[in-house]
Amino acid sequence: MTRPRTRRTRGHSKVSSGPSRTRLSPRVPATRHVCGVGPRSIRLGLIACTLVAACLAQSAAFEQGGFLENRALFYPRAGVTDQTQRIDELLLRWEARLRLSEGWRIFVGIDAQTDTHNQVERTWHLSWDDRGIARPDWALRTAFLQYTHGVFRLEAGKQVLHWGVMDLFPPTDRFAPRDYLSPSGSDYLGIWAARAVIDSGTHSLELIYGPRFTPSRAPLIGQRWVLLPPFSPLFTYRVDAPEYPGGPQLGLRYHEVRSPFEYSLYFYQGFQTLPSLPSQVNFLRRTVDYLPVYPQVRMLGADFTMPWRGLLWKAESSYETSASAYSHNIWTYEAQVEKSWDKLQLEGGYSGEFVTDDRDFAALAIDRSLRKSFTGKVVWTPTAKQSLSGEWYLRQTGAAFITRIVYSRRLADSLRASVGWNWITARKNDPIEPYSVNSFLSLQLRYSF
Amino acid sequence: MNMKVGILAALAALGAAGQSPSTAREIMQEVQRRSFSKSFRYDGHITVRKASGVTDRKTWRYERFGPPGDSKVMLRFLDPAEIRGVALLVWNSPGKAADMWLYTPSLERTRRIARQDRASRFAGTGFSFEDLEESDIAQWDYSELQDATENGEACWRITGRRVSDRRSLRDKNWLWIGKQKMTALRIEKFRGDRLAKRLSMSAFELKQEIWTAMSVEVADLSDRSVTTLQLTDARYDVRMSKSGFTLEALRGPW
């Protein structure tokens, strides 16, 4: 196993790989933790949390749980920019809730993690806002207060929100930033927001106000999941510190169950959670500077679910517009059909898009990379202890194929092991083709408590 | 005047109680009347024994809001930790098939269960999704009333066929209804002519004047597994709110 000489300071990378190769370097000082607490505070906080949890554990009003998970990734081939072939990640997630009174509850979730690939910070800081480029070693995943009164519910604080009925990249899922650092699972990140819901059962109306933007955590420059355009090996590529937008995000969702079908309507005004990357080339200095920006967008969307002819049919679509030069006007749609038997579950569908106003710029549009493809999933559960699943994406032109096969087995009451093979293959000229070297084997061990 | 009305009502009630039901439908109506409650809650401890001898344990909390047949049910797993928070929401409506949704916290996804998929197993137990439905008797046709005995207890054996779903017209249930307790003692479910599943109720306790089976054994004859459900903390007419039985509540953190 070989590794590039990598130095990372609070999430920014500098990869020096020799004068004859493309160099990537940060241009500005590292991002500071705008909201965070230091090591001493963390230790004191943990001791306090443990004591409080121990006291509260006796109370029926307090519940807690979580898991400890180890994920090992093996890449048979070295990457284009990253030679590392073995990565190990360790994540501890703890979640708790406390019922204060009849209608009031508090929810808290904390993540603690580390890895062997420097994708996780080593600062011993608790991140409140998930705005760092690398994963924080300690992060407040959720912390919100919930008030319920009859059909009305209000949740305020840091919470995980997402919309849509589709599995992987629902077209209407605009609020939810994700962690795309590792391909082993794009986990959702919490956002600071107030959410009010009126749910009468068959009708519900949801209003979300997010005062502070939380970006998705994009793959790090210099690692195998980011391949910048090969402008020239003689140039140095630099990525500026991102400019996070300052305005609020607003969302409105209406849902109706009109048995046997149900549908939702969506409106969102906010920002892309993945950055667009306008660049500036300086031929004298032989530099290419990328400035990550998060354009403001507006989205209208809908989803529909209906059982018909022995199958469950789902459709979801959104139309996104933006005044920014760094975002497309784009119509995204997805249709899926499902069928379940005792031990077998099948899904098949199509995911498409139509760009109505194509603008020329680079972007980290990970969600768009799997559009215009046929998707499918099979889950076979021969016993309650084990399952075998396979899912795939086939580009409609047949030019790219991605599949993931996972075998999962429960080893003990709270211990589960999974082994998976992710295979990426594509023809030349397909945007996914450079990532073909990134096929990987994953081993996962999770202890739930 | 009020006293006279009260006495007449009491006499009418006595008369009604004294009449023994004579048809299969009347028996089932009486079963539904006697089990009437506005709500019901219990903690269920499930043991699944496979034919190979392997056992699996789970715990869920069951809450029903509304009378049987026109109710909403929330079933949420409490243990083991791996599936804690997995929840099933069922909306039973008179005269039509129930709406069902399954929430999986690890995926943060709510999945609608299609009516056609309800014969499939629920969370690795011997129960299917339709076993957890509480369809009202208007959706069933009851016939073939016979006298029988179950565990030494005199009972009726009734054949029930669902009439609200054309797909299951060939399927039938045999129900053994205890004459004394007026509740189901055993149910056998047939797929076509093949016996697929046997549910045996036992450990009856009189809870708030309702005979309640505190133990239910489900024998799945297709894979020879046996699932036992033991009820604890079973209570009727518990104070609940309708807002606890919505999709919002289903998605809510455990």
| A3 vs A41, higher pLDDT | A41
Per-residue b or e along A303-337, where b marks 16 or more CB atoms closer than 10 Å to that residue's CB: bebbbeeebbbbbbbbbbbbebebbbbbbbbbbbb
Residues of A in contact with B108 (CB under 8 A): 160, 162, 188
| pLDDT greater at residue B169 or residue A281 | A281
From A159-168, A372-381, A416-425, the region with the lowest mean pLDDT: A159-168
A200–B contact, CB cutoff 8 A: yes
**Residue whose structure tokens are 């496979």:** B50
For tokens 């906080």, name the residue: A45
Closest CA to A243 of A12, A36, A33, A31: A31
Q: Is the pLDDT of residue A36 over 70?
A: no
Q: Kindly tell me if the per-residue pLDDT of B68 is higher than 90.
A: no
Q: Do B115 and A162 touch (CB under 8 A)?
A: no
| Other CB atoms within 10 Å distance of the CB of residue A32 | 10
What is the DSSP annotation of A341-357?
A: -SSEEEEEEEEEEEEEE
**Which A-chain residues 324-343 have CB contacts (< 8 A) with chain B?**
338-343
Residue ranges per structural domain of chain A: 23-448
Q: Is there a contact between A132 and A36 (Cβ–Cβ < 8 Å)?
A: no
Residue A246's alpha-carbon distances to A35, A66, A270, A328, B138, in angstroms, are 15, 33, 10, 21, 58
Residues 253-282 of chain A with CB under 8 A from chain B are 255, 257, 259-260, 262
**Rounded mean pLDDT, A22-51:** 51
Residue A282, token pair as written in the block: 């300086």
Chain A residues closer than 8 Å to B92 by CB: none
Segment B35-60 mean pLDDT = 91
Spatial distance between the Cα atoms of B33 and B132, rounded to a whole number of angstroms: 19
The answer to whether domain A23-448 has CATH 3.90.228.20 is: no
From A162, A310, A385, residue closest to B108, measured CB to CB: A162
* Average of per-residue pLDDT values in chain B: 84
Within an 8 Å CB–CB cutoff, is residue A63 touching chain B? yes
Nearest-CA residue of chain A relative to B57? A413
pLDDT averaged over chain A? 84
- Round to whole Å and give the CA distance between A321 and A75: 38
The mean per-residue pLDDT over the stretch A356-361 comes to 79
Mean pLDDT of B98-119: 85
pLDDT tens for each residue of A157-171: 999 998 999 887 899
Per-residue pLDDT tens for A70-97? 999 999 998 878 888 999 999 999 999 9
- Classify residue A381 by burial, with Cβ atoms within 10 Å: 0-12, 13-18, 19+: middle
Confidence of residue A102 (pLDDT cuts 50, 70, 90): confident
**Long-range own/partner contacts, residues A341-346 (CB < 8 A, 24 or more apart):** A341/B117, A341/B120, A342/B119, A342/B120, A342/B121, A342/B222, A343/A380, A343/A381, A343/A382, A343/B121, A344/A378, A344/A379, A344/A380, A344/A381, A345/A377, A345/A378, A345/A379, A345/A380, A345/A381, A346/A376, A346/A377, A346/A378
Mean pLDDT, range A367-379, rounded to an integer: 90
- Residue showing tokens 């009202």: B136
Residue A21 has a pLDDT of 34
Q: How confident is the model at residue A116 (pLDDT cuts 50, 70, 90)?
A: very high
Q: Which one has a higher pLDDT value, B171 or A50?
A: B171
Dihedral angle at the C-alpha atoms of B90, A168, A204, A312, nearest 10 degrees?
-50
Query: Which residue of chain B has the CA closest to A314?
Result: B112
* Residue A309 token pair: 């002819």
Looking at residue B250, what DSSP letter applies?
H
- Token pair, residue A311, equals 């199958």
At A61, the pLDDT band (50, 70, 90 cuts) reads confident
B111 to chain A: nearest residue by CA? A165
Residues of chain B neighbouring A200 (CB-CB closer than 8 A): 246
- Select the residue of B80, B222, B253 nearest A107 (Cβ to Cβ): B253
* pLDDT at residue A51 tops 70: no
Q: Rounded CA gap, A118 and A115, in Å?
A: 6
User: Is any Cβ of chain B less than 8 angstroms from the Cβ of A283?
Assistant: no
Of chain A residues 352-391, which have a CB less than 8 A from chain B? 381, 383-385
Please list every residue in chain B whose beta carbon sits closer than 8 Å to the beta carbon of residue A410: 82
Model confidence pLDDT, tens digit, residues A139-155: 999 999 999 998 999 99
Residue B112 · residue B103 · CB < 8 Å: no
**Most B CBs within 10 Å, among A187, A189, A342, to test the B interface:** A342
What is residue A22's three-state secondary structure? coil
H-state helical runs in A255-399: none
Is 0.90 exceeded by the ipTM? no
pLDDT value of residue B254: 53
**Cα torsion A11, A16, A17, A22: sign:** positive
> Which residue is closest to A167 within chain B, CA to CA?
B109
